[in-house]
Amino acid sequence: MPFDLHILSLKDVLDILLVAYLLYKIYKLMKSSGSINVFTGILVFIVIWIIVSQVLQMRLLGSIFDKLVSVGVIALIVLFQDEIRHFLLTLGSRHHSSSLFRFLKGNKQKATNKEDIMPIVMACLSMSKGKVGALIVIEKGFPLDEIVHTGDVIDANINQRLIENIFFKNSPLHDGAMIISNKRIKAAGCILPVSHKLNIPKELGLRHRAALGVSQETDAIAVIVSEETGGISIAYQGEFYLKLTAEELERMLTDKRN
């Protein structure tokens, strides 16, 4: 039956847009987790399956592809269990449930965030000058409770002097990550998942890999101060933002926390 443009309703257009948006989000998730080649392979397989089954109508080959698709759904769940868990946890996180409330608060919320961000910025700037290594993870919508439990719970106000003391070279907590949640320093000395992406620049060390790893698995913002160069960087949604100035760091933290 030929395609008729007259039967394309508003609901059909909405359906197409939703599918396109879903594919885009899956693409971003696969790209941030380093599984983009697998995602591309799945899309190619689906296109071949549609051509064989619907266009060419090859019954034998089409039935084989149908069986592979039915089994492949289970295989994909096993293969991408971490990504699926990440998606579901993000979907049900408090970030989405309170988005309307934060929107109604408007500029007042941004001003409050500014008060929490400046101690982080000033501490990073001070540690950068002294080439003191640091890794600060700021929680957004995705809960970081599991990571908090790997370190020592502090639960203190965000304070520049406290941040610098924790990452001081002789401090027992300076090697791990600091977790900031709900405008509080929740824990320090925490262990983060390390990214295994192959295209990470060789000059970036373990702190950067850990920061990228947590940014791939959660929506958190990871701030890194390099012990070798003193450079300040951010890892967010599987991407690095390197060699930031104090102004750029403040602006990025303000924009990405809202």
Higher local confidence (pLDDT), 247 or 33? 247
Mean pLDDT for 61-81 is: 72
Higher local confidence (pLDDT), 199 or 219? 219
Q: What is the mean pLDDT of the chain?
A: 79
For the record, the structure tokens of 158 come out as 């965000």
Reply yes or no on whether the pLDDT at 202 is more than 60.
Answer: yes
Could you tell me the pLDDT band of residue 165, with boundaries at 50, 70 and 90? very high
Reply yes or no on whether the pLDDT at 2 is more than 70.
Answer: no
Reply yes or no on whether the pLDDT at 107 is more than 50.
Answer: no
What pLDDT does residue 31 have? 65
DSSP annotation string for 34-62: T-HHHHHHHHHHHHHHHIIIIIS--HHHH
Helix, strand, or coil (residue 233): strand
- Please tell me the pTM assigned to this model: 0.64
Mean pLDDT for 160-164 is: 93
Q: What is the pLDDT of residues 213-252, one digit of tens each?
A: 898 888 899 999 999 889 999 999 888 999 899 899 999 8
Could you tell me the pLDDT band of residue 98, with boundaries at 50, 70 and 90? very low
Surface-to-core class of residue 169, CB atoms within 10 Å of its CB (0-12 exposed, 13-18 middle, 19+ buried)? exposed
Q: What is the pLDDT of residues 74-87, one digit of tens each?
A: 776 776 666 666 66
Do 126 and 164 meet the contact criterion of CB atoms below 8 Å apart?
yes
